[in-house]
Amino acid sequence: MKEYTIQSLVRVYDWEELPQEDRILIERAKGATKGSYAPYSSFCVGAAARLKDGTVVIGSNQENVAFPSGLCAERTTLFAANAQYPDQPVLSLAIAARNAEGFLSQPIPPCGACRQVISGVEQRYHQPIRLLLYGTAGTHVVDGIDALLPLQFADSYLKG
Ligand code: THU
């Protein structure tokens, strides 16, 4: 038997330590929560994607009475970005969430389905996506989805 360990590096920044560009993207993600449609969970999630040419695309969670038909903020945002700007790789994705009491102190990590889509977008553009997971107690930053989704399925496996 052999074994190996998979490690992830997560950097936690205080607000003042974040580069200005990241702070701006997080503010856009926080603002995007205003577009959230969450009558069932009352949990509003916003995301903002910065594209290579500097364009910022925002999105938010959109719920549906048939629960599984709703979509998370991360996928709403990435699909909108790719649909409108198919030639532009996504460089960074900021995510913020609030409940009735306000923005959460600890950031929310993307769900499994969103991680898979983030992985797919990285592969499509051959470009890692920096994830900025905002919490009022600190922003957790990873340099790519590798850190949250080890052992990813990739189209290279299809080719054998
Ligand atoms: N949600 C997101 O938008 N992103 C996540 O990473 C986790 C969960 C949404 C889905 C649903 O509308 C609500 O939050 C509660 O799960």
Q: Which CATH number does the domain housing residue 34 bear?
A: 3.40.140.10
**pLDDT tens-place string over residues 11-56:** 999 999 999 999 999 999 999 999 999 999 999 999 999 999 999 9
**Number of domains present in the structure of the chain:** 1
Q: Is the pLDDT of residue 154 over 90?
A: no
C-alpha–C-alpha distance, residues 52 and 135, integer Å? 25
Q: Is residue 26 part of a domain?
A: yes
Q: What is the distance in A from the centroid of ligand 1 to the CA of 3?
A: 34
The residue written with tokens 């983030």 in the block is 118
Q: Which one of 41, 60, 61, 133 would you pick to mutate in the ligand 1 pocket, going by the greatest count of ligand atoms within 8 A of its CB?
A: 61
Residue spans of beta strands (DSSP E) within the chain: 11-13, 44-51, 56-60, 90-99, 102-103, 130-133, 139-142
Which among 92, 108, 125 has a CA at the least distance from the CA of 21? 92
CA distance 92 to 94: 7
According to the model, what pLDDT value does residue 159 have?
Answer: 83
Task: Quote the domain boundaries for residue 90.
Answer: 11-159
Q: Establish if 3 belongs to a structural domain.
A: no
